[in-house]
């Protein structure tokens, strides 16, 4: 993976110093090699994390074809590089190396924007057409790799991270009423295409755009989940899923640098680790697996409805089953709290508190051993693993299943902001926008219709929060994390699988269990879903309470420009009571830590109010 940034202006020539500043803001994403391209209208910057074809593949990459010269900067990985290469060779292209970057550039030169229909991978890239003086931008179908931008008065500024956009002189961080509403009611989630700050946008998943002098920025969507009849029975469906998932995992193991897997002992990560272990063993190599836990977790762990058991025994069972070299990463409570600000700066926006900071610390340790890791995101969204898929009361309720605390969140706003914001309207606008765009067969049953709506709500909204977290925390450590369950072919297929097959035998993710039975020990195969592990140590709650108390003791903390002091003090007094903030991942300790992050964000990024 890499970092990309660019500035296109038809009013004045981009300045080299500005592009260097943008590039420097992204050095953590690509510490191996840096590149720069400048002409009268365009400046493009790239930082490279070398993964495939270490000698070649430097960027920006150039290609002359017919009467055009193309300049590419690219962040991502293509998993069907060899198929594309063969097709392009037959069309007359020649290649100096074997990088996917070279193949992507040739694909764009040959097919133009239609190349997107042929790509299987995770990516955000930009192509400058030097003679047409036109820029093309694109993002992968699922939205694994980010691309932020701001466009105004004939100028487009874009980058892999907001910090690089904000590094440009004259670009400032401003919050208006809409941004405050999103911050208070949806964060760490966001409305697709928005980046919280006024004038800041994000290219949506499966969206591409052209930017030119005459037409400005013209965006379009090139893919979405489409409804179709499902003609296979349960056994055929399981066999189909097995083939597709195994193919997705194996394609994503290709690398010229060390590769490992994240192993929680849960169903999804264990499947990936098992397939990877078999693949590596056949090549005479040994897989490396990584797990995270917390100091004194066994002492303080408490069973809940959403987290019925701890990970340790299942990780140990998988270690005995695999032939992998395993690494346990143990995080300390104090470190989690201390890393909250670093996690905020990695994401550039208030995030998931210690759910973020723990992943950041985990990735730092992983990077010591591997440069690429595979992780299990997207399985629950596609296979219906979350509790709100199976709880009919929650499933049938209008609104966002993970945002059932709107009134509680709204109560923290200062009175002057509450007068300007309709909290239910903010949430329902996001909900209804997804439902309006959901493709459903006319004769679908009520159950199938609702499940497809739930899939779209989860892939378009909830999953994007998790993918943003994964990219930001891992790339802050120059670690490339791949997500096999995000293979678009798997998403397309599973979208139309009836619910009775997805919950085969009445079991949570029954289809996935049936498809991958031979890859896991029985105990792991049958394990109920357990979310990303959080610390249960009461010392963490006390640590973040202390941080927020310190903030409130300041003369004029930025936090109080948005949120009510009395409400925050009540939160600190009632901290022993568990209150959901964002699904099962964030409750009272994470809520307090989130406010700590918000204060740091407002101060660090000099956020002003518009």
On the 0-12 / 13-18 / 19+ scale of CB atoms within 10 A, 483 is: buried
Alpha-carbon dihedral 586, 587, 590, 592, rounded to 10 degrees: 140
CB atoms within 10 A of CB 184: 23
**pLDDT bracket for residue 523 (50, 70, 90):** very high
Band (298; pLDDT cuts 50, 70, 90): confident
pLDDT at 97 over 90: no
Task: Out of 259-268, 387-396, 433-442, pick the least confident.
Answer: 387-396
Measure the CA–CA gap between 375 and 270, rounded to whole angstroms.
10
pLDDT at 251: 97
Give pLDDT, residue 402: 92
pLDDT band at 302 (very low <50, low <70, confident <90, very high): low
Residue 584 binned pLDDT confidence (cut-offs 50, 70, 90): confident
Dump pLDDT digits (tens) for 317-347.
Answer: 999 999 899 999 999 989 999 999 999 999 9
Phi, psi angles (nearest 5°) of residue 31:
-80, -5
In the chain, the percentage of residues whose pLDDT exceeds 70 is: 98
Average pLDDT over residues 231-258: 96
Query: Residue 107: what pLDDT?
Result: 98
pLDDT over 90 (residue 350): yes
In this predicted structure, the answer to whether residue 307 has a pLDDT above a threshold of 90 is no
* Banded model confidence at residue 304, pLDDT cuts 50, 70, 90: low
Which of 223-227, 264-268, 293-297, 320-324 shows the lowest per-residue confidence on average (mean pLDDT)?
A: 293-297
- The pLDDT value recorded for residue 583 is 83
Lowest mean pLDDT, pick from 450-459, 531-540, 545-554: 531-540
Residues of the chain with CATH 3.40.50.620: 234-525
Query: What pLDDT does residue 301 have?
Result: 64
Q: Say if residues 520 and 321 touch (Cβ distance below 8 Å).
A: yes
Higher pLDDT, 35 or 312: 35
- What integer pLDDT is reported at residue 132 of this predicted model? 96
- Under a CB-based contact definition with an 8 Å cutoff, are residues 28 and 477 in contact? yes
User: Which residue intervals of the chain bear CATH 3.60.20.10?
Assistant: 2-221
How many of the other CB atoms lie within 10 Å of CB of 293?
21
Q: What is the mean pLDDT of residues 426-437?
A: 97
pLDDT band at residue 441 using 50, 70 and 90 as cut-offs: very high
Q: Which CATH number fits domain 234-525: 1.20.120.1200, 3.40.50.620, 3.90.950.10, 3.30.70.890?
A: 3.40.50.620
CA distance 257 to 478: 13
208 given a catalytic annotation: no
Q: Indicate the pTM of the whole model.
A: 0.96
- Residue range 269-286: mean pLDDT, rounded: 97
Superfamily of structural domain 2-221: Aminohydrolase, N-terminal nucleophile (Ntn) domain (3.60.20.10)
Given a cut of 70, whether residue 518 has pLDDT beyond it is: yes
Confidence of residue 309 (pLDDT cuts 50, 70, 90): low
**Percent share of the chain, pLDDT over 90:** 87
Q: Residue 53: pLDDT above 90?
A: no
Give yes or no for a contact between 402 and 389, defined as CB atoms under 8 angstroms apart.
Answer: no
């Amino acid at each position: 993976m890499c970092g990309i940034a660019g500035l296109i202006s038809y009013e004045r020539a981009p300045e080299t110093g500005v592009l260097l500043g943008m590039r420097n803001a992204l050095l953590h994403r690509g510490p191996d090699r840096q590149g720069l391209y400048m002409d009268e209208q365009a400046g493009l910057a790239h930082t490279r994390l070398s993964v495939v074809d270490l000698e070649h593949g430097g960027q920006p990459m150039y290609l002359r074809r017919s009467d055009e010269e193309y300049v590419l900067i690219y962040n991502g990985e293509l998993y069907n590089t060899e198929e594309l290469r063969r097709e392009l060779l037959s069309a007359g292209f020649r290649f100096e190396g074997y990088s996917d970057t070279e193949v992507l550039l040739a694909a764009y030169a040959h097919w133009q924007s239609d190349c997107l229909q042929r790509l299987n991978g995770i990516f955000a890239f930009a192509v400058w057409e030097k003679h047409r003086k036109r820029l093309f931008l694109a993002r992968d179908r699922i939205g694994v790799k980010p691309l932020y931008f701001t466009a105004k008065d004939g100028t487009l500024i874009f980058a892999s991270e907001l910090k690089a956009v904000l590094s440009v002189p004259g670009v400032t961080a401003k919050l208006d009423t809409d941004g405050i509403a999103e911050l208070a009611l949806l964060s760490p989630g966001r409305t697709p295409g928005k980046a919280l700050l006024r004038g800041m946008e994000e290219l949506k998943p499966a969206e591409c755009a052209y930017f030119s002098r005459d037409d400005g920025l013209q965006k379009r969507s090139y893919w979405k989940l489409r409804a179709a009849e499902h003609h296979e029975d349960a056994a055929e469906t399981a066999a189909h899923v097995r083939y597709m998932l195994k193919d997705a995992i194996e394609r994503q193991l290709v690398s010229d640098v060390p590769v490992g897997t994240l192993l929680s002992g849960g169903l999804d990560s264990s499947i990936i680790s098992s397939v990877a272990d078999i693949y590596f063993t056949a090549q005479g190599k040994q897989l490396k697996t990584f797990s995270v836990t917390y100091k004194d977790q066994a002492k303080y762990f408490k069973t809940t409805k959403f987290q019925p058991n701890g990970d340790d025994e299942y990780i140990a069972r998988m270690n005995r089953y695999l032939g992998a070299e395993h690494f346990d990463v143990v995080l300390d409570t104090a470190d989690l709290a201390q890393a909250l600000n670093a996690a905020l700066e990695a994401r550039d926006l208030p995030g998931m508190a210690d759910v973020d900071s723990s992943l950041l610390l985990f990735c730092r340790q992983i990077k010591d051993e591997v440069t690429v890791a595979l992780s299990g995101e997207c399985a629950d969204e596609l296979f219906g693993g979350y509790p709100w898929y199976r709880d009919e009361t929650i499933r049938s309720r209008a609104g966002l299943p993970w945002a059932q605390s709107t009134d509680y969140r709204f109560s923290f706003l200062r009175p002057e902001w509450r007068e300007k914001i309709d909290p239910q309207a903010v949430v329902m606008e996001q909900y209804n926008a997804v439902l309006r765009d959901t493709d459903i067969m006319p004769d679908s049953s009520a159950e199938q219709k609702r499940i497809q709506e739930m899939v779209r709500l989860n892939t378009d909204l909830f999953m994007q929060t998790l993918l943003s977290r994964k990219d930001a925390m891992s790339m802050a450590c120059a670690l490339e994390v791949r997500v096999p369950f995000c293979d678009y072919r798997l998403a397309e297929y599973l979208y139309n699988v009836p619910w009775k097959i997805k919950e085969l035998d009445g079991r949570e993710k029954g289809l996935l269990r049936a498809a991958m039975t031979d890859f896991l020990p029985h105990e792991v195969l049958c394990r109920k879903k357990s979310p990303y592990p959080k610390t249960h140590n009461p010392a963490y709650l006390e640590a973040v309470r202390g941080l927020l108390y310190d903030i409130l003791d300041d003369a004029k903390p930025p936090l109080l420009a948005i949120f009510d002091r009395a409400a925050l003090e009540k939160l600190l007094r009632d901290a022993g009571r568990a209150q959901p903030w964002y699904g099962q991942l964030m409750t009272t300790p994470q809520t307090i830590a989130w406010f700590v992050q918000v204060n740091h964000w407002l101060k660090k990024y000099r956020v002003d109010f518009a």
